[in-house]
Amino acid sequence: DTAVSQTPKYLVTQMGNDKSIKCEQNLGHDTMYWYKQDSKKFLKIMFSYNNKELIINETVPNRFSPKSPDKAHLNLHINSLELGDSAVYFCASSQGANEQFFGPGTRLTVL
Amino acid sequence: SQELEQSPQSLIVQEGKNLTINCTSSKTLYGLYWYKQKYGEGLIFLMMLQKGGEEKSHEKITAKLDEKKQQSSLHITASQPSHAGIYLCGALPTGANSKLTFGKGITLSVRP
């Protein structure tokens, strides 16, 4: 009965590859997010979707493309991966501006 | 843009001791959130504060938001090893569709 789930948990890939991370929430929330946590543990928002509509799009390279097929899913696709993309990516969801519930994270390592 | 300062940067306490950590905003907040993160895991929601002067408690953790809604403290009573982790405060500035901005976190270690 996991609330916010992400797959995969670990992702190791070569520079230049394209990869996707999936996120699903079963809380019935209307808003979903992607965050990036760098090596210094600093957590920064990347994207936010409300009812499948993009509402926050931070300064993120356009190699990153979120896709929300429905309210319960928000996937993150990354093209042409670079070394600097290595980080832990967290998905989260909330009902409006209420507290956000986070997934377990996906640790991406680009070699 | 919203900036959050957390202090101290890290903290080591003896089990059983009380401790307080802080989160200060450069602007008035719509909401202030406290999360805890254990190494290699996701964030666990602790508490949310929205009203000036508000105080909430859960088990041995108490969070307060000042009247100006710019500063919050998190107090742990009789700390235990299970309290160890990274404590992050997140803030929503005033306004709709605001983005949650996090501080850099405070690493807490509790010595048995």
- B54 is written with which tokens? 């508000």
Q: Do A99 and B30 touch (CB under 8 A)?
A: no
For residue A52, the model assigns a pLDDT of 80
Burial of B22 (0-12, 13-18, 19+ CB in 10 A): middle
Mean pLDDT of chain A: 92
Burial of A16 (0-12, 13-18, 19+ CB in 10 A): exposed
Q: Is the pLDDT of residue B1 over 60?
A: no
Angle at B85 between CA B36 and CA B51, to 5 degrees: 30
For residue B2, the model assigns a pLDDT of 59
Alpha-carbon dihedral angle through residues A65, A48, B28, B63, given to the nearest 10 degrees: -120
Contact (CB, 8 A) for B76 and B91: no
- pLDDT tens per residue, chain A (111 residues)? 669 999 999 999 999 999 999 999 999 999 999 999 988 888 999 999 888 888 877 878 899 999 999 999 999 999 999 999 999 999 999 998 788 999 999 999 999
Query: Measured on CA atoms in the order A47, A50, A51, A53, is the torsion positive or negative?
Result: negative
Q: How far is B108 from chain A (nearest CA, A)?
A: 14
B54 touches chain A (CB under 8 A): no
For residue B75, the model assigns a pLDDT of 98
pLDDT tens digits along A18-33: 999 999 999 999 999 9
Q: Do A103 and B105 touch (CB under 8 A)?
A: no
Chain A partners within 8 Å of B37 (Cβ): 41
A99 touches chain B (CB under 8 A): yes
pLDDT tens digits along B41-100: 889 999 999 899 999 999 999 999 998 889 999 999 999 999 999 999 998 876 555 678
Q: Do A40 and B41 touch (CB under 8 A)?
A: no
Best CA proximity match to A109, nearest among A4, A3, A2, A14: A14
Q: Do B101 and A45 touch (CB under 8 A)?
A: yes
